[in-house]
Amino acid sequence: GAGVSQSPRYKVAKRGQDVALRCDPISGHVSLFWYQQALGQGPEFLTYFQNEAQLDKSGLPSDRFFAERPEGSVSTLKIQRTQQEDSAVYLCASSPQEGTDYGYTFGSGTRLTVV
């Protein structure tokens, strides 16, 4: 596709429920990033993949958060036993290869609301 696609666009989860958020990066993009954006704040880094390898997961807030990119294209961010503090917009970004700057493209995000 022409851009980074994220689904679902909106997700409402009951506290304790598991959720899975999907990111379809631009075809051929090697690098993929997940960010979390709380209301009124700037995005915060969660994790980074280069192809299928997860090279940095230092931003994941707890072991309830898990991300994967098994074939080096589509990525899924999974949150287990959701809590109210997990409510945020989850943004995915991709870039053509490590080491380029013009190509950082973000999706529109998934807005997660935990009730």
Partner 1 sequence: DAKTTQPPSMDCAEGRAANLPCNHSTISGNEYVYWYRQIHSQGPQYIIHGLKNNETNEMASLIITEDRKSSTLILPHATLRDTAVYYCIVRVYAGNMLTFGGGTRLMVKP
Q: Would you tell me which residues interact with partner 1 (CB under 8 A)? A: 4, 31, 33, 41-45, 48, 55-56, 59, 91, 93, 98-102, 104-109
Q: With respect to partner 1, which residue has the nearer C-beta, 30 or 80?
A: 30
**Selection from 18, 39, 16 nearest residue 89 by Cα:** 39
* Token code pair at residue 106: 């973000």
> What is the smallest separation between the CB atom of 103 and partner 1, expressed in angstroms?
8
Nearer to partner 1 by Cβ, of 23 and 79: the residue is: 23
Separation CA 96–CA 26 (nearest Å): 8
- The region that residue 14 occupies, defined by phi over 0 for left and psi between -120 and 50 for alpha, beta otherwise, is beta
The nearest distance, CB 38 to partner 1, in angstroms, is: 12
In the complex, least distance from residue 16 CB atom to partner 1, rounded to whole angstroms: 28
Pair type for strands 31-37 and 88-95:
antiparallel
Q: Shortest Cβ distance from residue 81 to partner 1 (Å)? A: 26
Answer left, alpha or beta for residue 108, where phi above 0 means left and psi between -120 and 50 means alpha: alpha
